[in-house]
Amino acid sequence: MKRTARPENVHQATLLRLLRDGGRSRAELGDVVDLSRSKLNVELDRLVELGLAEPDGLAASRGGRRSGRVRLSPRTRFAGIDIGATSIDVAVTNGELEVLGHLSERADIREGPAAVLERAVELVGKLRREGLCTELNGVGIGVPGPVSFAEGVPVVPPIMPGWDRYPVRETIAQELGCPAMVDNDVNIMALGELHAGLAKNVDDFLLVKIGTGIGCGIVVDGKIYRGVSGSAGDIGHIRVDDLGPVCACGNSGCLEAYFGGAALAREAAALARAGGSAHLAERLAVAGALTGEDVAAAAAQGDPGAIALIRDGGRRVGQVLASLVSFFNPGLVIIAGGVARLGHVLLAEIRSVVYRRSLPLATGNLPIVLSELGDTAGVVGAARLISDHVYSAI
Amino acid sequence: MKRTARPENVHQATLLRLLRDGGRSRAELGDVVDLSRSKLNVELDRLVELGLAEPDGLAASRGGRRSGRVRLSPRTRFAGIDIGATSIDVAVTNGELEVLGHLSERADIREGPAAVLERAVELVGKLRREGLCTELNGVGIGVPGPVSFAEGVPVVPPIMPGWDRYPVRETIAQELGCPAMVDNDVNIMALGELHAGLAKNVDDFLLVKIGTGIGCGIVVDGKIYRGVSGSAGDIGHIRVDDLGPVCACGNSGCLEAYFGGAALAREAAALARAGGSAHLAERLAVAGALTGEDVAAAAAQGDPGAIALIRDGGRRVGQVLASLVSFFNPGLVIIAGGVARLGHVLLAEIRSVVYRRSLPLATGNLPIVLSELGDTAGVVGAARLISDHVYSAI
């Protein structure tokens, strides 16, 4: 197989993207593409010659001759790298973006790009040594900050010291010897949901990630909307209250200052010290500090103080989302990220505020749901990002 | 000329849309479309045969043989109808959407669809009798409320009693005997700005209309973004303060309840009665009621009370816009509509809040400007809407 093979025209690109959702018969492909039967067969045969697809037996008869099935080359391999503030996730997928192997470990983004990217490359090497791939067709990378998508570099990322304009795409492409694309972590999670999650058949939706920071992936017509300078969806610094707490960005009353991971940990500790939560006080005495997971655990045990913290945060997120739902009229809102693991108490509060405050026309058929993909959203989305590139006409 | 002629393929559609921005030489068209010279000439000749375009002499030499110029048929006519809460604007344009004649008169949307649409058709007839057109290639219509774009009908429009699901598109298409398309008034204003206004070369922008109501047109990649149920951009009912005044929609603290045309008139009258503005009190005594124009006139004379009213409203609009700018990262924000005529005091306040509160990355290169098109934005946008349809492949 030629690893560098790419589709030669838009028809081939369209066919590869259809096959990415699963192999199918030539007759089924003919039903959805605007090509004559002979032209379709020419393009499919060419994809087989290029090593991008291959025949896969005969389909069941639809009344006439049995049509030949086609699938992506089973030797196709994409890697997805999802770099978080405190973690690295790496996966290798096949052409259909099914995860063949996934490694996850703690990491600190503040160690800088050289160390973090080296570790990510090592993790890909580990999966390779396990026999999951020899060469890669492409790699997608997500990082927790704003990215100049065209240049493949982070741009003034607030929680990534040392990464500003670091050539992430070039570094990874060179190390792994294949095409690479970089985007911010929230956008790649949204792509993951689009490919394999609850947004599979939704053209216009929002993915709200609540983790260390708060961000929003915006999908318009099945594609990530990035805005003119790539900062679209950066909702963590929308001001919810002029008199609110000071944020890491220097302003006050930002959404993130109320309900990012750091804000939640701080509020939980204050509550524990003030005697507002027995569960959290106990945990604080043992661990010396609290995290979002501690709040989730306390709430799961019915701790009223912890539940109140989650409700309060959900209300703030709901206030911001209510405006965005009226403005954007999405078909679906997915809540994801570490803090989203606070679960159904959080979801109930967000739903209640959005359904009450947004325009009825915008919420009439609007599901607001928790992500079901967990840690795989990012790596699958990163693989999807690079496969979109590899499966586009040159 | 065959009035019903339509392009037969995407290449012809692309060429017609290029010619809509002005006639040009075959060589210039060849520079921007992805067609061989012979194929380009086949398609252009076919457009001439169909009566959609015509030869227009020879271009200046670019070093070789002089290339033949082509333009849209000068007999092409579109009509644009912009129905507001209190006005009807009607214009007839040529194929390049230049306004050949424009009529504007007071009207009351509450008289219902039969009366209002009949009057709009009469106004088109009046322009026709003035010799501006015999037959029309198409008509676009804007109405001041939510529209189901696919069906061409208003949907539960709050300020349009009797219009809910009225077949506006069918009625106008039948009366004028040509293709018709309906959208809400804010979207057609955004299309007008895209075609002839300050957004001419901007792919992603927002048009904020502040008139009787407040709404926002969202343009993504040069196309109107309507959301899944067509309500995208309906920002007038975003809540700016839980404890704010009651809105016509039944909720409290909506943006429109602070600064729509009705809110401004009410606030101005209250101010005049409370002795807060000599100018407004004088005007109120004469006229018995106040309007946004009265506030603008008083502010223009330096009346501090009127200026404070405008600043306060601008601050509220700015608060909402700041969130939307962080979320959407547009390349341009245009302020338009009746209340926008309050002018630079309003603009200065909106700018100040947005630039202070939005993400620096999102405002770095963000112009916030007043529309320069005035009443023509709607009618040109309506003509643009229908021309997009007529100049698309069947």
Q: What pLDDT shows up at residue B362?
A: 80
Which tokens sit at B313?
Answer: 């409203």
Note whether B78-195+376-390 and B200-370 share their fold. yes
Q: Residue B155: list chain A partners with CB under 8 A.
A: 361
Domain topology for B10-72: Arc Repressor Mutant, subunit A (1.10.10)
| CB-based contact A204 B216, cutoff 8 Å | no
- The whole-angstrom separation of Cα B359 and Cα B381 is 31
Q: Which residues of A touch B228 (CB under 8 A)?
A: 203-204, 329-331, 365
Q: Is the CA virtual torsion B323, B326, B330, B331 positive or negative?
A: positive
Given CB atoms, is B201 within the 8 Å cutoff of chain A?
no
Distance of CA A325 to the CA centre of its chain: 20
CB pair distance less than 8 Å for B326 and A359: no
* A16-31 residue pLDDT tens: 999 999 999 999 999 8
pLDDT at A260 over 80: yes
ipTM of the complex: 0.87
pLDDT value, residue B3: 59
Cross-chain CB nearest to B327 (options A233, A239, A322): A233
pLDDT tens across A306-323, in order?
Answer: 999 999 999 999 999 999
CB contact under 8 A, B227 and A251: no
pLDDT tops 70 at residue A171 = yes
> Are B322 and A238 inside 8 Å of each other by CB?
yes
Inform me whether the C-beta atom of residue B226 falls under 8 Å from chain A C-beta atoms.
Answer: yes
Angstrom distance (rounded) from CA B99 to CA B367? 27
Question: Which residues of chain A does B214 touch, with a Cβ-Cβ cutoff of 8 Å?
Answer: none
Assess A149–B contact: CB distance below 8 Å, yes or no.
Answer: no
CB half-sphere exposure, A9, CA atoms < 13 A: 9
- Residue B380 pLDDT: 97
Please name the residues between 72 and 111 in chain B that touch chain A, using a CB distance below 8 Å. none
For an interface test with B, give the residue of A328, A365, A368 to mutate (most B CBs within 10 A).
Answer: A328
Look at the alpha carbons of B120, B126, B132, B134 in this order and tell me if their dihedral is positive or negative.
Answer: positive
- Each residue of A64-81: pLDDT tens digit? 778 889 999 999 999 999
Which residues of B are less than 8 Å from A329 in CB distance? 226-234
Q: What is the assigned CATH class of domain B200-370?
A: alpha beta
- Which segments within chain B are labelled E, that is strand? 24-25, 53-58, 68-72, 78-83, 87-93, 99-106, 138-143, 147-148, 153-154, 180-184, 205-210, 214-220, 223-224, 333-336, 368-370
pLDDT < 50: residue spans in chain B: 1-2
Contact between A228 and B204 using a beta-carbon 8 Å cutoff: yes
Superfamily of domain A78-195+376-390 in CATH is: ATPase, nucleotide binding domain (3.30.420.40)
**Any CB–CB contact under 8 A between A186 and chain B?**
no
Which of the two residues, A246 and A282, has the higher pLDDT score?
A282
pLDDT of residue A359: 78
Contact at CB, B357 and A239, closer than 8 angstroms: yes
Cα of B319 to nearest chain A Cα, Å: 9
User: Does B278 or A360 have the greater pLDDT score?
Assistant: B278
| Cβ-Cβ contacts under 8 Å for A125 (sequence gap 6 or more) | none
Mutate to test the interface with A, among B34, B229, B354 (most CBs of A within 10 A): B229
Structure tokens at B260: 């729509």
Interface test with B, best of A207, A237, A254 (most B CBs within 10 A): A237
d(CA A262, CA A264): 5
Model confidence pLDDT, tens digit, residues B222-259: 999 999 988 899 999 898 887 888 887 778 889 998 88
Cβ-Cβ contacts under 8 Å, A155 against chain B:
361
Query: Closest approach of chain A CAs to the CA of B207, in angstroms?
Result: 12
pLDDT at A119: 97
Q: Please tell me if residue B323 touches chain A, with a CB cutoff of 8 Å.
A: yes
B229 to A365: CB separation less than 8 angstroms, yes or no: yes
Q: Per-residue pLDDT for A154 more than 90?
A: yes
Whether residue A317 contacts residue A211, with contact meaning beta carbons closer than 8 Å, is answered with no
Smallest CA-to-CA distance from A101 within A145, A144, A152, A136 is with: A136
**Separation CA A45–CA A48 (nearest Å):** 5
Task: Indicate if the pLDDT at residue A34 is higher than 90.
Answer: no
Residue A3 has a pLDDT of: 58
Which pLDDT value is given to residue A1?
45
Q: What are the extents of the domains in chain A?
A: 10-72, 78-195+376-390, 200-370
Extract long-range pairs of B298-303: CB within 8 Å, 24+ residues apart. Answer: B299/B342, B299/B343, B299/B345, B300/B343, B303/B277, B303/B278, B303/B279
In chain A the first and final C-alpha atoms are separated, in Å, by 18
Q: Are A326 and B235 inside 8 Å of each other by CB?
A: yes
Tell whether A315 lies on the interface with B, counting CB pairs under 8 A. Answer: no
> Which residue, among B11, B226, B320, B359, would best test binding to A if mutated, counting the most A CBs under 10 Å from its CB?
B359
Which among B227, B238, B319 has the least Cβ separation from residue A330?
A: B227
Query: What residues of A are in contact with residue B220 (Cβ under 8 Å)?
Result: 220, 225
Instruction: Nearest by CB to B359, from A203, A234, A324: name it.
Output: A234
Residue A97, pLDDT score: 97
Q: Which residues of A touch B216 (CB under 8 A)?
A: 327
Q: What is the least distance, in Å, from the CA of B329 to any CA of chain A? A: 5
* Neighbouring C-beta atoms of residue A122, cutoff 10 Å: 13
Interface membership of A227 toward B (CB under 8 Å): yes
pLDDT at A62 over 80: no
Paired tokens of A126: 């580990």
**Which residues 247-266 of A are in CB contact (within 8 Å) with B?**
251
Strand, helix or coil for residue A81: strand
- One-letter amino acid at B294 equals D
> Hey, is the C-beta of A148 within 8 angstroms of any chain B C-beta?
no
Q: What are the tens digits of pLDDT across the range B93-105?
A: 999 999 999 999 9
CB contact under 8 A, A234 and B365: no
Of all residues in chain A, the percent with pLDDT exceeding 90 is 69
Query: Is the CB of residue B322 less than 8 Å away from at least one CB of chain A?
Result: yes
